[in-house]
């Protein structure tokens, strides 16, 4: 996760040329602040950005780092050093991301990595799902609806969707189906919807309510 939705470098690198979307999540309502549920809750997941590698970085061996996913006893109290070296340090050049990491051990789900007939599992009352992509699986967590509080769309999102719709059907009254669906969903669940654009006078990003 990141602390800001208004960073131009983030939009440039991860926002598909300002055609993407940023979803604002309330970490408390999402349960991300629960230290009993997560090895690293959001309250402890802020990364440190360093100019050089941390001293004695080799205290966490490759073997021990690779064992993290197989450990049922890994927690902040007994493995603080390993957790910090494994998850919390990045080069100073990445500081613009303002990244916050949340880490969960899902080994209890017993998903197979290369092949698995099991696609769903409950871990401490959390619903996890294994989704197979073309190159690898990813593991998703179902969050409560009230955890989603904001949606930011890039300044080119509407234009991109409009062009795609025009390839298959007409655009009437400037309404793009997917964009209208997003607006309806945000209204239904009381989620703030904003458009990200560049202020040409200040070069600062601004969020305008839609």
pLDDT for res 75: 64
Would you kindly state where each structural domain of the chain is located, as residue ranges? 8-209
Q: How many CB atoms lie within 10 A of CB 101?
A: 14
Summary mean pLDDT of the chain: 88
- Beta-strand pair 148-154/120-123: unpaired
Residue 71 has pLDDT above 60, yes or no: no
Mind listing the pLDDT tens digit for each residue in 85-118?
778 889 999 999 999 999 888 888 888 888 888 9
Q: How confident is the model at residue 60 (pLDDT cuts 50, 70, 90)?
A: low
pLDDT for res 209: 95
Mind listing the pLDDT tens digit for each residue in 13-35?
898 889 999 999 999 999 999 98
Residue 199 has pLDDT above 70, yes or no: yes
Helix axes 157-166, 177-188, angle to 10 degrees: 130
CA distance 40 to 33: 9
CA distance 140 to 123: 12
CA distance 111 to 136: 13
pLDDT for res 112: 83
Residue 72 has pLDDT above 60, yes or no: no
Mind listing the pLDDT tens digit for each residue in 139-174?
999 999 999 999 999 999 999 999 999 999 999 999
- Those residues whose C-beta lies under 8 Å from the C-beta of residue 98, and which sit 6 or more positions away, are 2, 3, 4, 7
Q: How many residues does this entry show for the chain?
A: 210
Q: How confident is the model at residue 137 (pLDDT cuts 50, 70, 90)?
A: very high
**Percent of the chain with pLDDT strictly greater than 90:** 59
Say what the pTM is: 0.82
Give which of 69, 78, 60 is closest to 112, Cα–Cα. Answer: 69
Give which of 181, 128, 176, 175 is closest to 151, Cα–Cα. Answer: 181
């Amino acid at each position: 996760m990141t602390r800001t939705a208004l960073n131009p470098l983030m939009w440039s690198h991860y926002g598909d040329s300002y055609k993407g979307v940023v979803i604002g999540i309330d970490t408390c309502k999402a349960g991300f602040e629960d230290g009993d549920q997560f090895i690293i809750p959001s309250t402890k997941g802020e990364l440190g950005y360093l100019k050089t590698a941390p001293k004695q970085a080799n205290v966490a061996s490759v073997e021990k780092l690779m064992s993290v996913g197989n450990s049922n006893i890994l927690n902040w109290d007994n493995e603080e050093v390993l957790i910090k070296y494994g998850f919390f340090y990045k080069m100073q050049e990445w500081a613009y991301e303002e990244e916050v990491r949340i880490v969960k051990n899902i080994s209890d789900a017993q998903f197979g990595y290369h092949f698995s007939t099991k696609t769903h599992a409950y871990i401490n009352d959390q619903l996890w799902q294994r989704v197979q992509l073309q190159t690898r699986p990813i593991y998703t967590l179902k969050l409560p609806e009230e955890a989603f509080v904001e949606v930011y769309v890039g300044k080119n999102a509407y234009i991109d969707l409009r062009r795609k719709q025009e390839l298959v059907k007409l655009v009437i009254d400037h309404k793009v189906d997917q964009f209208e669906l997003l607006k309806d969903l945000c209204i239904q669940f009381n989620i703030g919807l904003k458009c990200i654009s560049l202020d040409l006078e200040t070069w600062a990003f601004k969020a305008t309510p839609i």
